[in-house]
Amino acid sequence: MTDSPITLISGGNAGLGLATAKRLTKEHNHHVIIGSRNAEAGAEVAAELQAEGHSASTVQLDLESDASIAAAAKTIEEKFGRLDALINNAGVLLDTTDPPLPIRTLYTRTFSVNVFGTACLTEAVEPLLRKSSNPVIVFVSSRMGSLVLSTDSSTLWYKIDYTAYDASKAAVAMLAINWNRRLEDIGARVNVVCPGLVKTNLAGGVGAVQYGVEPYEGAKRVVELATLGKDGPTKTWSATDGDIPW
């Protein structure tokens, strides 16, 4: 058990998730639980943070496996008895694969991780969030899921043709709205964040290497919303440069 806030980050072993974990441990004294599909990769990250004097552990977490999700939730319950923050970070962008995936495969695989897996994980740890005195959920999303921006022909987001990814991120916004409603009774803060274009493997297909920010910078708004106090905002969608329309 620990008095520090306990935060689970899906996809926490690389990219934006790893940067978020580092900022939370080093700047906010959170105990971060690295959710990693590859157990060894998660263990390496946790060991690195521990060696630097920070509080971290790991769980094997595959969003396409109900057994993995259930085992991760059980491990957190047994070790900590609660969860203070859930950062739904893990996701895939498959619209740019070469050769292109068949349309049904593209949508099935994209939604399996980005929507179905995210919903299953949130459902599994909801009882642990209810045991927190300051529960927070952050859904990492993208402006490309905004219905307002995607229907405005003057915006960049209108022109980018990532149909499966866009649709999945619009669905993630609805997940956030629903969990905000479900957890209203305990005063949880549930928000959506767009980290912007970040230099990660996920975003490589949209010019991230040339135009994106470093993951540590991209994690800024995620960390801000993961560390909200009880009087913080809820049911918002934002980036570092301001609010995003639904």
pLDDT in tens, 89-136: 999 999 999 999 999 999 999 999 999 999 999 999 999 999 999 999
User: Active site residue: 146, 150, 169, 199, which one?
Assistant: 169
Q: Which CATH number does the domain housing residue 82 bear?
A: 3.40.50.720
- Would residue 57 count as lying in a domain? yes
Look at residue 245 and tell me if it is in a domain: no
Asked whether residue 244 is domain-assigned, the answer is no
Residues of the chain with pLDDT under 70: 1, 156-159, 198-213
Q: Could you give the residue ranges of the DSSP H alpha helices within 100-212?
A: 103-111, 118-129, 147-150, 156-159, 163-182, 208-211
- The whole-number pLDDT of residue 215 equals 77
Q: 216: domain range?
A: 6-239
Contact of 23 with 29, CB cutoff 8 Å: no
In the chain, the number of structural domains is 1
Q: In this predicted structure, what is the pLDDT of residue 204?
A: 46
Among 10, 57, 142, 150, the active-site one is 142
Question: Is 146 one of the annotated active-site residues of the chain?
Answer: no
Residues in the chain: 246
What confidence score (pLDDT) does residue 161 get? Answer: 78
DSSP letter, residue 196: -
Q: Among this protein's residues, is 142 annotated catalytic? A: yes
| The pLDDT of residue 152 | 85
β-strand pairing of 85-88 with 136-140: parallel
